[in-house]
A and B are shown apart, each in its own frame.
Chain A
Amino acid sequence: MGRRRAIVLLVLTSILLITLDIRGSTMINRARSVFALLVEPFDTAARTVTRPVLNAWRGVMDYSDVKRENEALRAELDSQRGAMIEARAAILEYQELLVLNRLMGSSSFPSVTVQVQGNSPGNFQNTIEINKGSVDGIATGMPVVSGAGLVGKVSQVFPNSSIVLLVVDPGFSIGAKVLTPLGVVPVPTTTLPLRPTEQPITTTTTTTTLPPSATTTTTIPSPRDPLAPVEISTTSTLPASVTATTLEPIDVLRETGTVFGQGAGQPMVLRFVDDSSTTGKIAVGSTVETAGGLRSIAPPGIPIGTVAAVRQQSGSRVPVVEVEISAGDLSKLNFLRVLLYVPNTSGS
């Protein structure tokens, strides 16, 4: 009889602990931190002991896959060289405009570079463990990005490590906006000579009008390591009366909603808050990025992905949009950046 009572006690204790944890108990958070310190040496020992075995295992099992992937990546890299040059120019201009308009971009926030040290230990959570924690200034809720876009948010922080909830987890959601260009944008095209041995790449150029002798210092991702920001100082000296190429205004449709994770291997789903007349104009391939806002966990402008499909719901005019994440395969992440971003909830 006493043991039956013990079982009942265990169940009640579980329910009590779940309730306390979901409501956010500081005592439980402290217990997690202490336990993380306790587990850390065991984890380190297990990693050290098993690394040679795992490397050998991977060498045997994954060799052909890695070789195939390497060839595919080389081909993709070649095709993206031209796009990268174009993108760098666009980023530079974007940063100049942000500075000129005194706006904050996502690269304006301080960040901590982290390394993934473990994937999800269970089948019912899409998380990763990173190697830095509260000691490095990381706090719960901070956005985590890779060179390709948003990866997730910090869900648990320990002194020397953190747990990141990935964007594909069903528990993940964030405010997002879809940017759909309406119509064809008429931009002048020029052909830039690259290296003599390579095929020329056709790129588009835009011209911005800067104030006379405007000097701007901007931070753009380095082409070799997209995670490492590189300081670039540009001095643009233009006469006040210069006539720059004038582009026709680009008409961009912006729709704001909330994007949700649907599990590993599934696209994210974007749901709109209200029935807007323009939601029907969202096209496949449109860019989806964080919307920002006072209570959002991430600043605006971080790429989330692209629209993969637009599905109509029965009984509603508001479509459901499937989003293919830009960060790619989340099971093969290595180096990431945690943006030390704290939402400005005061509104100032």
Chain B
Amino acid sequence: MRSFLTGPLIRLFPVGLVVLAIQRTVLTEVTPFGVVLPLVLALSASAGAGAGSERGALAGFTLGLMYDLATGSPLGLTGLVFGLAGFVAGYVLTITPSPQWWLTSILATLGAAVGEFAQPIARLLIGQDGWFNDRLFVVVPVAAVFTLVTSPLLVPVGRWCMRVKKPKWKVMSE
């Protein structure tokens, strides 16, 4: 369990810093339909889709904690939500051990949508209401589409961070 927790963090932490810097600078300026594109969430979900539920949850939790530390949101809140996104996206590996790239992207998209939708729920649980409104119907689809577009790039990054190699089928010769 120790290697499971500490092993991937060496790669995930520096990658997380870079992604977090992009999130806090470029992506606060480019906001289609007024929605901030969630790159950190997309990476969490993509890591889950590429490396499985448990590792996805760990990646999401770590990236979420870094996000909380940098943005001032309650520590652990985004970690919990991004962890959920990674866990849901990682469900793809229980369907098939070697999914096609498009199936991985779809599950990463689903994970990101669940993560984005779970944020107002998590905030409500700690007493921060006022986020459940019509705007969710814009925010969640835009976040999902962004993840769908970026996941072919982010899934390999997520796999590399989590030290997981892409499974390959081998033809057994007689």
B119 to chain A: closest residue by CB? A124
Contact between B71 and A121 (Cβ–Cβ < 8 Å)?
yes
Q: CA separation between A7 and B88, bound complex, in Å?
A: 13
Interface mask (B2-23 → A, CB under 8 Å = 1, otherwise 0): 0011000000000001101111
**Given A10-B58, A10-B83, A18-B75, A39-B25 contact (CB < 8 Å):** no
Do the beta carbons of A46 and B26 come within 8 Å of each other? yes
Check A42–B17 contact: CB distance below 8 A. yes
A42 to B126, CA, bound (A): 31
- The A contact surface, by secondary structure, is helix
Q: Are A5 and B1 in contact (CB under 8 A)?
A: yes
B27 and A121 contacting across the interface, CB-CB below 8 Å = yes
> In the complex, given contacts A35-B69, A123-B36, A170-B129, what are 19 additional A-B residue pairs having Cβ atoms less than 8 angstroms apart?
A4-B54, A6-B1, A6-B58, A7-B87, A10-B83, A14-B76, A14-B80, A18-B75, A22-B126, A36-B69, A36-B70, A42-B17, A50-B26, A122-B73, A123-B35, A123-B119, A123-B139, A127-B71, A263-B131
CB of A21 within 8 Å of the partner chain: yes
Report yes or no: A6 in contact with B77, Cβ–Cβ below 8 A. no
Q: B130 is contacted by which of A14, A42, A262 (Cβ under 8 Å)?
A: A262
A152–B35 CA distance with the chains assembled, in angstroms: 21
Interface range, A side: 35 or more
Inter-chain contact A119/B76, CB cutoff 8 Å: no
Q: A75 interface residue, CB < 8 Å from B?
A: no
Q: A170 to B131, alpha carbons, bound, how many Å?
A: 8
With contacts A11-B80, A35-B66 taken as known, whether A124 is within 8 angstroms of B21 at the C-beta atoms is: no
Our count of residue pairs bridging A and B at CB distance below 8 angstroms stands at 150
Question: Judging by beta carbons under 8 Å apart, are A32 and B79 in contact?
Answer: no
In the bound complex, residues from chain A placing their C-beta under 8 Å from that of B129 are 170
B91 within 8 A of A: no
Q: Is A17 an interface residue (CB 8 A)?
A: yes
- Distance, CA A6 to CA B86, complexed state (A): 14
Which residues of chain B are near A120, meaning CB under 8 Å? Answer: 28, 36
A127 near B72 (CB under 8 angstroms)? yes
Query: What is the 8 Å Cβ interface bit string for chain A, positions 31-47, against chain B (1 contact, 0 not)?
Result: 11001101100110111
Per-residue CB contact flags for chain B residues 67-98 toward chain A (1 = under 8 Å, else 0) read 10111111111111001000100000000000
- CB-CB under 8 A from A262, the residues of chain B are 130
Report the bound CA distance from A21 to B126 in whole Å. Answer: 11
B: residues with CB less than 8 A from A are 1, 4-5, 17-18, 20-30, 34-36, 38, 53-54, 57-58, 61, 65-67, 69-80, 83, 87, 116, 119-120, 123, 126, 128-131, 133, 135, 139, 143
Any B CB within 8 A of the CB of A134: no
Q: Give the distance to chain A from B24, nearest Cβ to Cβ, in Å.
A: 5
Which single residue of chain B is at the shortest CB-CB distance from A119? B28
Query: What 9 pairs between A and B have smallest CB-CB spacing?
Result: A170-B130, A17-B76, A156-B72, A42-B21, A14-B80, A14-B76, A46-B21, A163-B72, A35-B69
Q: Are A21's CB and B74's CB within 8 A?
A: yes
Whole-angstrom CA separation of A264 from B17 in the bound complex: 28
Q: Which residue of A lies closest to B131 (CB)?
A: A124
Q: With CB as the reference atom, state the residue of chain B lying closest to A262.
A: B130
Q: Is the CB of A121 within 8 A of B28?
A: yes
B77 adjacent to A18 (CB under 8 Å):
yes
Across-interface contacts of B38 in A (CB, < 8 A): 122-123
Complex CA–CA separation, A43 to B30 (angstroms) = 16
Whose C-beta in chain A lies nearest to the C-beta of B129? A170
